[in-house]
Amino acid sequence: MIYRRLFAAILAGVMVMSMAACGGSESGTAESTETAQTEETKTEETKEEEPAEETSELSGSVSTNGSTSMEKVIGILSEQFMAENPGVSVTYYPTGAGTRIEASSNGCADIGLSSRALKDEEASAGLEGTTVALDGIAIIVNAENPVEDMSVEQIAQLFTGAADWSLVGGEGEVACIGREAGSGTRDGFESITGTEDTCVLSQELTSTGAVIEAVKSNPAAIGYASLSAVEGQEGIKMVTVDGVACSEETVQDGTYKIQRYKGLGEMDAGQRWETTMDPSRRTLLRVTINDIEMYHETCPTFSILMGVEVEHQKNFILEHAQYISMLDI
């Protein structure tokens, strides 16, 4: 319900902006219209006032473009929005998360759909991101595969070609099925399993549905796909990761590991080491006392948020909460 309302607000915003862009007129026309309206006003003043007709209904079209893993979500949200706004047509083009950046930037799409957060360079280019849902990345195998569980480390070994199915109790070679470069699902999977640029894929496919079908047709296959796309599918099964099944509940409570973590304070010790504390990856910046004093003088916000006065922090949150544009709930 939360993301339905949020998405409706996004679509409404697009429609309002479209209507505003189309509502301009040439200055000469505006002047002549103003004169005519003045004459009409004098006449109207003598007439009995009648109820104004409703003119706030939305009309037009909204184009969405991007991640194939969001197909079910966008389908439900679009259907609901069009039911509530019959004058609006919403279209969806499942081109993948990578292309939605370009489409949103150059105006080919009103809304770009991504299964990952915006990168710094994308945000600095003027794009704004809004989180509508959290999604687990399910590890899937053929339904005939006897393997039921594996660790994140074992998944990484299989996908990099370092081991075959015997590592996790199966038999034979592994056929790894993955997404194309630029896919948000691939980006999330590789960043969590530590397999960036090292995966050895038998097939590199351009949609979530294609990955699922490839795993269905190959008993030796393993792949990854959005939880929402996998649920209810026959011919494949989701394996547990470190004994935890991929489900809405385990994604929300953080016990399922193959999902994007949101902030340093929400990581476990292993995740903090991987992303922040490992000396081979981290970058240290020396901060001197003089730097700190200058910061306190020139940036009072730093003093408020990092200081010891809880009341100041509370007031800051109450004052600025209305301006939040990206809320992960």
Convert the pLDDT of each residue in 16-67 to its tens digit. Answer: 433 333 333 343 444 444 444 444 444 444 444 444 444 457 888 888 877 7
Which has more confidence, 109 or 216? 216
d(CA 211, CA 209): 5
Question: pTM here?
Answer: 0.53
142 DSSP β-pair partners? 236
User: What pLDDT was estimated at residue 147?
Assistant: 97
Tokens of 146: 């006897």
User: What pLDDT was estimated at residue 203?
Assistant: 97
- Please, are residues 211 and 178 in contact by the beta-carbon 8 Å criterion? yes
Residue 121 is which amino acid? E
**How many C-alpha atoms does 194 have within 13 Å on its Cβ side?**
14
Which has more confidence, 81 or 66? 81
- Distant-in-sequence, close-in-space partners of 156: CB < 8 Å, separation ≥ 6: 162, 193, 194, 195
Which has more confidence, 19 or 231? 231
Q: How many other β-carbons are positioned within 10 Å of the β-carbon of residue 255?
A: 15
Which has more confidence, 263 or 178? 178
Helix (H) or strand (E) holding 284: none
User: What pLDDT was estimated at residue 328?
Assistant: 44
d(CA 139, CA 150): 10
Convert the pLDDT of each residue in 40-54 to its tens digit. Answer: 444 444 444 444 444
User: What pLDDT was estimated at residue 220?
Assistant: 97
Q: Is 181 helix (H, G, I), strand (E, B) or coil?
A: coil
- Range scoring the smallest mean pLDDT among 198-212, 259-273, 292-306: 259-273
- Please, are residues 172 and 164 in contact by the beta-carbon 8 Å criterion? yes
Residue 305: pLDDT band with limits 50, 70, 90: confident
- Range scoring the smallest mean pLDDT among 79-88, 96-105, 111-120, 295-304: 96-105
Residue ranges and CATH numbers for the domains of the chain are 1-21+58-133 (3.40.190.10), 137-263 (3.40.190.10)
pLDDT(9) > 70: no
User: What pLDDT was estimated at residue 105?
Assistant: 60
Which has more confidence, 239 or 300? 239
Tokens of 248: 């809405």
Tokens 């909460």, located at residue: 321
The string of DSSP codes covering 121-135 is: HHHHTT---------
